[in-house]
Structure 1
Amino acid sequence: MGCRARAPVTELLRVVARSGALVPDPGRRLPGRGASVHPSPECLRTAERRRAFTRALRLPGGSPLEVGPLREHVLGTSS
């Protein structure tokens, strides 16, 4: 989603929107529409800059999303 590079689903992190926040779903079990992103800070920044989460999750354009929980997960797994 962020860098637009194709990868096997096992290499991507599923993300869902919950109560106005982007939540990582590494187990791919949470209900609802999900979007996949590489679990890297660069890919996450690119997706944020492009506002790709709102489009991929089909959310109303004006709804701001809290990226904190997702960012913490990505930074914790990339180190």
Structure 2
Amino acid sequence: MGCRVRTVKSELLRLVVVEGVIVPDRRGRSQGRGAYVHPVLHCLELAERRRAFPRSFRVAGALDVSRLRASLAGLDAE
């Protein structure tokens, strides 16, 4: 979605929307529409720039990505 590079599903991070906030779904079992990105900040930033999240989740308006950004920043630090 962000960088548009195709890869196997196991290398991607599933995202879901919970009360207007995009959160990571590490187990891949949360209900609702999901979107997939590589688990790196660069891919998240590309998806935000392209305004891909509202289209992927089929919602109107902006979504909060602060929790997702913090989660990915922690993964990048490791």
Q: Report TM bin, short chain.
A: over 0.9
Q: Secondary structure at the match of 1:23?
A: strand
Unaligned runs of 5+ in 1: none
* Aligned-residue RMSD, C-alpha: 0.8
The code of the aligned residue for 1:28 comes to: G
* Alignment of 1:67 onto 2:43: no
TM-score by length of structure 1 reads 0.93
Give the aligned length.
77
Q: What's the counterpart of residue 26 of structure 1?
A: 26
User: 4+ runs of 1 displaced by more than 2 Å?
Assistant: none
Unaligned runs of 5+ in 2: none
TM-score by length of structure 2 reads 0.94
% identical equivalent positions: 49
